[in-house]
Amino acid sequence: MEDGQEKLQLTWDDGHVSPYIPFWLRQRSFNPKHQEEAGRERYRRARITWDSSMQEKLPRASFQKILSDDKSLYEFLHNWEVYG
């Protein structure tokens, strides 16, 4: 910690300086509890369970588009996480 500031500052061998705030470090901790909390807050989307109303609005994806277009891939992965 430097000058009572709420950050950890690392100076690398090449002279590059990286400041880190405690909150950021905690979210990236290897402690399983902290990893689970961070994952819920940052990465996981709300899941939508299937029922009969989903029949007409299930997401569709073109395999070729997924392979060739980053936006299509992102949409596919997003839908897979949300809808299963």
pTM for this one?
A: 0.47
Q: Taking 70 as the threshold, does the pLDDT of residue 5 lie above it?
A: no
Q: Tens digits of per-residue pLDDT, 32-70? A: 777 777 666 666 667 778 888 888 888 889 999 999 999
What pairs with residue 23 in β-bridges? Answer: none
- From residue 23, alpha-carbon distances to 2, 20, 43, 64, 78 in Å are 16, 8, 16, 41, 27
Contact 47, 82 (CB under 8 A): yes
Tell me what the pLDDT averaged over the chain comes to: 82
pLDDT per position as a tens digit, 17-38: 999 998 888 777 788 777 777 6
Domain residue ranges of the chain, discontinuous segments joined by +: 1-44, 47-83
